[in-house]
């Protein structure tokens, strides 16, 4: 019988246990997927430990199987599914989804995107959700263009690694911040022009120095409270602050007056908002898969764990022992 991770309650990583679970046959508009690789995202951790935003936690039901993305092979299709068939290679990545940490599962067929032969399950599971997120941030939320300069926090992390490669591929200069010198090397390998180690350098002063005092066109901040306010000081006149995560804690309330001196624009990116329409989600997923095939997002080199060690994967991410994407393998 297929194996699945279940957490009976909010808590530390160890609340996740491996159990046998048969998802059953697909409904009329569903498919059943035999999953080979499952991406691990910080959103999974927030839901497991109860630190996701209130609106997200309100939708979480226990027992919980975390996981919002995976890749694998179609096992069976529902009666009303006509564009997929058993044996097709597919993947999915949806911010609001759970249930991904499983060897076999059911999903709505329209969420599955076909994979070309020149992709691997591990590569797709490593970057699909992060790539969809990055595409939304650098092509819709703020359109990154050649010659612009970006300040990217957590540049060696999962989303950061993808954003650095994609943005630099578009011709932008990416200045990354990281927590260790080891991660600085990874950020540079991912396409950052410069890597600032937090705690060793003042990132605002260094960013201003690197931009000859001008500041950056846009800041992408997935860290939150620890760096948010000071990041406003690193932005050029009429530049943009894009907040998209809060690994260090939720950002405290901001007085709009703090934005007036440089005419800074502020927005909060959410994948569930930018991909709420199925056509947007499928378009972005397709663009990411094209980028993977073209080699633009190659070299992710994910850290892999067996599905049975999902708790260890979560612990390692929380304690900042991982670099880049993390993938569970069936």
Grouped pLDDT means (10 residues each) for the chain, 330 residues = 97 98 98 98 94 87 97 98 98 93 98 96 94 95 97 92 94 96 93 96 97 98 90 96 86 86 90 86 96 84 95 94 89
Which CATH code for domain 3-128+273-329? 3.90.180.10
pLDDT of residue 322: 84
Helix H segments across 170-276? 181-189, 203-210, 228-231, 271-274
pLDDT of residue 81: 98
pLDDT of residue 275: 85
Give the phi and the psi of residue 167 in degrees, each rounded to 5.
Answer: -65, -40
For the packed helices 181-189 and 158-169, what is the interaxial angle rounded to 10 degrees? 40
In sequence order, the 6+-apart residues with CB closer than 8 A to the CB of 58 are: none
pLDDT of residue 324: 76
Q: Which residues of 40-61 are buried (b: 16+ CB within 10 A; e: fewer)?
A: bbbbbbbbbbebbeeebeeebe
Query: Residue 234: helix, strand or coil by DSSP?
Result: helix
pLDDT of residue 247: 77
What residue spans in the chain does CATH classification 3.90.180.10 cover?
A: 3-128+273-329
- Do 178 and 244 contact (CB within 8 A), yes or no? no
pLDDT of residue 134: 95
CATH of 146-268, one of 3.40.50.720, 1.10.10.10, 3.40.50.10800, 3.20.20.150: 3.40.50.720
Give the β-pairing of 173-178 and 104-108.
unpaired
pLDDT of residue 320: 81
pLDDT of residue 48: 97
- Do 17 and 6 contact (CB within 8 A), yes or no? yes
DSSP 300: -
Cα separation, 98 vs 60, whole angstroms? 8
User: CB count, 10 Å around CB of 193?
Assistant: 16
User: CB count, 10 Å around CB of 26?
Assistant: 21
Write out the two tokens for 3. 């194996």
Q: Which residues pair with 243 in a beta bridge?
A: 221, 268
pLDDT of residue 249: 83
pLDDT of residue 309: 98
What residue spans in the chain does CATH classification 3.40.50.720 cover?
A: 146-268
């Amino acid at each position: 019988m297929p194996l699945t991770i279940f957490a009976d309650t909010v808590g530390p990583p160890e609340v996740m246990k491996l159990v046998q679970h048969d998802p059953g046959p697909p409904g009329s508009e569903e498919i059943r997927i035999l999953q080979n690789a499952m991406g691990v995202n910080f959103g999974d951790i927030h839901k497991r430990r109860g630190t996701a935003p209130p609106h997200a936690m309100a939708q979480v039901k226990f027992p919980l199987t975390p996981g919002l993305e995976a890749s694998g092979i179609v096992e069976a299709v529902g009666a009303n599914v006509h564009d997929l068939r058993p044996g097709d290679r597919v993947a999915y990545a949806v911010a609001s989804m759970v249930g991904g940490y499983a060897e076999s599962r059911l999903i709505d067929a329209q969420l599955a995107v076909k994979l070309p032969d020149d992709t691997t399950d591990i590569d797709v599971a490593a970057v699909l959700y992060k790539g969809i997120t990055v595409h939304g941030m650098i092509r819709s939320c703020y359109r990154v263009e050649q010659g612009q300069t970006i300040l990217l926090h957590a540049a060696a992390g999962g989303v950061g690694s993808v954003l650095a490669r994609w943005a630099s591929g578009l011709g932008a200069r990416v200045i990354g911040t990281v927590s260790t010198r080891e991660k600085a090397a990874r950020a540079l390998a991912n396409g950052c022009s410069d890597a600032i180690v937090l705690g060793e350098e003042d990132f605002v002063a260094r960013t201003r120095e690197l931009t000859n005092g001008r500041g950056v066109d846009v800041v992408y901040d997935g860290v939150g409270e620890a760096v948010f306010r000071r990041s406003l000081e690193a932005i050029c006149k009429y530049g943009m602050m894009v907040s998209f995560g809060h690994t260090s804690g939720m950002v405290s309330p901001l007085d709009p007056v703090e934005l007036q001196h440089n005419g800074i624009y502020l927005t909060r990116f959410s994948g569930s908002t930018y991909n709420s329409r199925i056509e947007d989600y499928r378009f972005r997923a397709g663009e990411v898969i094209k980028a993977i095939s073209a080699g633009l997002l190659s070299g992710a080199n994910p850290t892999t764990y067996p599905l049975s060690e999902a708790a260890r994967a979560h612990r390692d991410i929380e304690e900042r022992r991982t670099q880049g994407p993390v993938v569970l393998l069936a």
